[in-house]
Chains A and B, each alone.
Chain A
C-alpha cells in the first residue's frame, strides 16, 4: 500500500512501510506547507524556487533526510544550511534508487515566480510499493509523461507558472492514470473544471480533489485490481 498525504499547494508525502518521501515542501506567502519537524527519509524538490524548496533544508536537518534535486536546487539548499552529505543532484532521466524507492527525473520546465523566465523543473516518475506516481507539481511542459505508465498523476492546473487546466487534462487523457490529482490552482473553479473534464474525457481516470490533511491510499487488490480511498488522517511521519 502507498499512502499519499497532501499538505496543500504542491506538497505531498509518499509513504510506504519502507520509506517516506516528501515532495516539494514549498513556502507560500511566508507560510511553510510542511512543518519543520516532519520526519522523512528523502525530500525531492523539483526546482530551486521557494514554492518548491521551501523549508526543505530545515526538515532535512531535523530528520536527517536526503534532499534530491537538480543542480540549482541543490545549490540553493546548500545555501540554506542543508548538510552537504545529505544532498544529491539528480541527473535527467537517470534513475535514483534506494530500497523501496525508485525515482526517475525528467528535465521539464516551469515559469519562474521570481523572474518570469522559464527555468528547469524536474518531472518525477516515482515507483514505490509497486505503484507508479508521476509528479509534475510545478511543470509547464509534460515531457515524456504522456506515455509513461502511471497509476497516480499529480498535475498543476493553475496556469501562469505551470500547466493550465487543459494541459493537465490532456496529459491525463494520454497517460491514462487510475487517479488524477490537481494541484497548484489559483482559483476554485480550476480543480473543478479539471475534475469535470477528466470525468467526461478521461477514459479510465478518476479525478480526485484532495484537501490539505487528507491522505490517499492506493493499493493493488488481488494483485491487479487498483483500489484507492481517501481518509482525513493527518500525514504521519515515518
Chain B
C-alpha cells in the first residue's frame, strides 16, 4: 500500500497579551494563518476551495468559502486572519513583595530607603485550557538593586540565571490542563535614593499544540490527478455491461464522494440514473474503484458520468502565545523629620512652657499610611496630658484617631517620660500621605526648674509604614539628640545683718534682711543665724516668721526655712534677743544661707 499523503490545512494562531504592573490584563489579541499545504511530491491540486461554513464567526473572515486556486506539489497557499479573544489561554501573575518575611494578603509594594528589603517574587503561570501547554519559556528581568538572589522553589521545570542580561530563565516544563506552575525567587533589595524602581519585566512564550483560539472548522474541496471513465462492453447480443471506473492517479489520498452514471435512452427519452453511489471511499494513490450495470440496447448505450472526489485533508492547529508583563514600579518609602522647641532654650531654675513641634515629612516616593513617633522627654520636664496633643495631616488639623501614650502615665516632672504618638490607617480617613506631604504633632511641655550644669536630651524616633505594613521607614535622632537649651541665670541671695540695742537694758534687736537678688527663683532656702551663749531668743517680728531654735555648744542657732524665694523676694526679720546676767558683748557672726 502506498504512503498515505493528505493535504494539510494548517491553523497556526498566535496570541499576544500584555498585562499591567499588578498582573491585570491590559490587552489581548490573536491572529491566525490558515494555510493549505500540498504535501504531494508530484501532484498538483487545483480548484482548491476552503470551506469555513459557519465557523468563521469571531474571525476577520467575511466569506464562508475561500478560494485557494491551484497549489503545486510541495507548495502551500495561505491567508491570515484576526481572531477576537478576551484573554490568553495562559494566565501569568507576579507577586513582587518587597517584604516577603511579613506575611500579608496583599504584597508590599515599596522599598524602604536604606534597609535590606527581603524581596520575594512569586510568579505563576496557569493553563486555562483543557489541553496541555508546552514549550514554555519565561524570562524575568532581575533589577540591579536586587542582590543575594536565590530561586527558592519551582513547581516544575528548570531555571538558569543569565548574568549578562540579569535574567532568570524558567523553562523545560509543561502545564497540564487547568493547572499552574509556580516559581519563587528571593532576593535582598537595597535602595539608596528615593527614585521609583522597576521590578523587572516578564516575557513568557508558550505553545498549545492542537489548540486554537478561533472556532474555525475548515474543510476543503479540490481536484487532482484522477481518472474516470465508462467502459461499455457487449456481453451478449444487444446486452451491454457498463462499468464506471475511477483511478487515483495522484500520490495523495483522495476521497471519492459521489459516483453517478446516467444512461441516455436510444429514443432520446429521459435520462436514467444507472449508478448512484456515495462511497466516501478513501483511495490510496493508484487505487481504483469501479461500479457497473447491465442493460439491453441495440446500439452501444450512451452514458454520462458525474463523479465527485477531493484530495483528502487533515487539519493541524496550534496556538503560539506571548505575554509581556509591564514592570511594576516600586516607589521608595523614606521619611525625614524636624523637631523644634519654642522657645529653644529656657531659663535655668525656671518653669517655662515649651512648645514642641515635630514634623515628619514624606521625602520618598511612596504613599504612607501610618506614622509612629516616639519622643523621649528627660526629667525636669512636665509632659502634657494626652488630650492636649494636636496633630495635622497634610496641612490640616487631624480629627481622626490619634493614639497618645505617655509612660509613665503622669505629669511628674521628676522622672523621664516616653511619649508615643500613633496615627494609623490614614487610607481610611484622610487618605495616605503623599510624597512631599507631612504629619505634624504639637504639644507643650513645662520645663521644670532645669539645672544649668545638666543636659536634657530629648531623642526621637519616627517611623512610617506603607499599607500593608512591612519594614518601617525610619528617621531618628542620636540618643542624646535634641537637647533642651538651658539658659543659665544667676542665683544670688543677699543677707544683711544689723545688731541694734533695744530700748530695755540687755535687750538687742537683730535685724536680718534676706533678699533674692538673682534672676531666678531659689527653693528650700535655709537661713541660720547664731545667738551667742548667754543670750536668749525672745521674739520675731513679723511673728509668722518665728524660727526654729537649735541649741549648739556655744549658743543657739535660729533657723528659718522657706520653700522658695522668687527674684525680688525680700524678707526683713527683726529678732528680739535678751542678754543674761553675764552675757557680755553680743558677738557678731554672719548668717549662713543655703538653698537648692
A contacts, CB < 8 Å to B: 107-109, 141-144, 146-147, 165-166, 169-170, 173-174, 193, 196-197, 199-201
Contacts and interface: CB of A to CB of B under 8 A. Distances in A.
Nearest to B352: A166
A143 B388 contact: no
A199 B388 contact: yes
B394 interface: no
Contacts of B388: 196, 199-200
Interface in B329-382: 350-353, 382
A74 to B, nearest CB: 22
B504 to A, nearest CB: 25
Interface stretch (B264-272, B314-322, B483-491, B564-572): B564-572
A193 B384 CA distance: 14
Given A170-B350, A170-B351, A196-B388, A143 B444 contact: no
Contacts of B384: 200
Given A170-B351, A170-B352, A200 B569 contact: no
B212 to A, nearest CB: 77
Q: Which 4 A-B pairs have the closest CB atoms?
A: A170-B351, A141-B568, A197-B353, A166-B352
A173 B413 CA distance: 13
Given A147-B563, A173-B446, A200-B385, A166 B521 contact: no
B411 interface: yes
A169 B353 CA distance: 8
A173 B447 CA distance: 12
B353 A146 contact: no
A69 to B, nearest CB: 19
B353 A147 contact: no
Given A146-B521, A199-B388, A201-B382, A169 B568 contact: no
Given A200-B384, A201-B411, A193 B353 contact: yes
Nearest to A118: B568
B569 to A, nearest CB: 6
Contacts of A173: 351, 446
A109 B570 CA distance: 13
B351 A169 contact: yes
A144 B567 CA distance: 9
A207 to B, nearest CB: 12
A196 B390 CA distance: 12
11 contacts: A107-B568, A107-B570, A109-B568, A147-B564, A165-B353, A166-B350, A174-B351, A196-B388, A197-B353, A200-B444, A201-B446
A142 B566 contact: yes
A132 B388 CA distance: 30
A82 B361 CA distance: 64
A204 to B, nearest CB: 13
Contact of B446 (A144, A193, A197): A197
Nearest to B353: A197
Interface string B539-552: 00000000000000
B14 to A, nearest CB: 72
A128 to B, nearest CB: 21
A36 B391 CA distance: 49
Interface of B: 350-353, 382, 384-385, 388, 411, 444, 446, 521, 563-564, 566-570
Nearest to B443: A200
A234 B566 CA distance: 37
A178 B564 CA distance: 21
A201 B570 CA distance: 28
Contacts of B351: 166, 169-170, 173-174
Given A170-B351, A197-B444, A200-B384, A146 B566 contact: yes
B444 A144 contact: no
A196 B444 contact: yes
Nearest to A200: B388
Nearest to A108: B568
A107 B515 CA distance: 13
Contacts of A144: 566, 569
B430 to A, nearest CB: 24
Contact of B353 (A107, A108, A141, A166): A166
Contacts of A174: 351, 564
Contacts of B446: 169, 173, 197, 200-201
Given A169-B351, A170-B350, A196-B444, A141 B566 contact: yes
Nearest to A199: B388
Contacts of B569: 143-144
Contacts of B353: 165-166, 169, 193, 197, 201
A197 B350 CA distance: 15
A79 to B, nearest CB: 28
A184 B158 CA distance: 83
A204 B385 CA distance: 14
Contacts of A201: 353, 382, 411, 444, 446
A109 B564 CA distance: 19
A200 B442 CA distance: 13
B442 to A, nearest CB: 11
Contacts of A166: 350-353
Contacts of B570: 107
B412 to A, nearest CB: 12
A147 B566 CA distance: 10
A185 B566 CA distance: 23
A71 to B, nearest CB: 18
A108 B353 CA distance: 23
Contact of B567 (A141, A147, A197): A141
A196 to B, nearest CB: 7
Contacts of A147: 563-564
Nearest to A197: B353
A141 B515 CA distance: 14
A166 B353 CA distance: 6
Nearest to A92: B570
Contacts of B568: 107-109, 141-143
Contacts of A143: 566, 568-569
Given A141-B567, A144-B569, 20 more contacts: A107-B570, A109-B568, A141-B566, A142-B566, A143-B566, A143-B568, A147-B563, A166-B351, A169-B351, A169-B353, A169-B446, A173-B446, A174-B564, A196-B444, A199-B388, A200-B385, A200-B388, A200-B444, A201-B353, A201-B446
A157 to B, nearest CB: 11
A23 to B, nearest CB: 21
Nearest to B542: A93
B577 to A, nearest CB: 23
Nearest to A193: B353
Nearest to A203: B411
Nearest to A145: B566
Nearest to A166: B352
Contacts of A108: 568
A193 B342 CA distance: 12
A170 B446 CA distance: 9
A146 B521 CA distance: 10
B76 to A, nearest CB: 90
A174 to B, nearest CB: 8
A173 B352 CA distance: 11
B484 to A, nearest CB: 14
B66 to A, nearest CB: 87
A169 B350 CA distance: 11
Nearest to B562: A147
